[in-house]
Amino acid sequence: MRIIAATKNAGKIREFEKIFSGLGFEIISQAEAGIDVDVEEIGDTFAKNALIKARAVAMLSDEYVLADDSGLCVDALDGRPGVRSARYAGEGASDSEKIAKLLGELEGETNRKAKFVANIAFIFPDGRELITQGEVYGRILDKPRGENGFGYDPVFYSDELEKTFAEASSDEKNRVSHRGRALAALYDMIK
């Protein structure tokens, strides 16, 4: 069985593949499915944005569809970047530009507590919808550490792993990450 991942992010595709390999699902990107749609994330929550993306792809397919929306929520910034995490430093900004903006806003701040939040939307071919959520807690470091991962991983220090997500292996990260937890919850529901 195939699941179309409503994303163009290769890092997310790899995470989805690892989690769902045990169920025998093949994960393909929307591009691999021949679906070329850009979705404007206008929701004010991660759950709403995940559903917006999943529904846009599901309307163009008769297959299972999976979408996520996730982001970094920093206490000292009143939850920012939040649902704007991907566009935090402007459209098309690189990961290093996003990190630089975040670190600039946190300069001199002692409260560095943060969490990653992910919502996963899953749509069955018959239109039924499931939504799950995962969270992971940590803090923002003063400078990036590690070479793995993507996005804010180099500055997010996981309390559970006692290292940044960029210092963790993909298996370590998937075990405790927000997306890994939301996907594990979805895996259990589907199973």
Percentage of the chain modeled with pLDDT above 70: 100
* Burial classification of residue 75, based on how many CB atoms lie within 10 Å of its CB (0-12 exposed, 13-18 middle, 19 or more buried): middle
The one catalytic residue in 38, 62, 69, 142 is 69
Per-residue pLDDT, 165: 95
pLDDT tens across 8-46, in order? Answer: 888 788 878 877 777 788 899 999 999 988 888 889 999
Mean pLDDT comparison of 7-11, 120-124, 167-171, highest-scoring range: 120-124
Give the pLDDT confidence of 46-98 residue by residue, as tens digits.
999 999 999 999 999 999 999 999 999 999 999 999 999 988 999 889 999 99
- CA pair distance 170, 109, nearest whole angstrom: 30
Contact residues for 108 (Cβ-Cβ < 8 A; gap 6+): none
The conformational region for residue 34 under phi > 0 = left, psi -120 to 50 = alpha, else beta, is left
Give the per-residue pLDDT at 159: 95
**Is 142 a known active-site residue?**
no
CA dihedral 165, 74, 112, 155 (to 10 degrees): 30
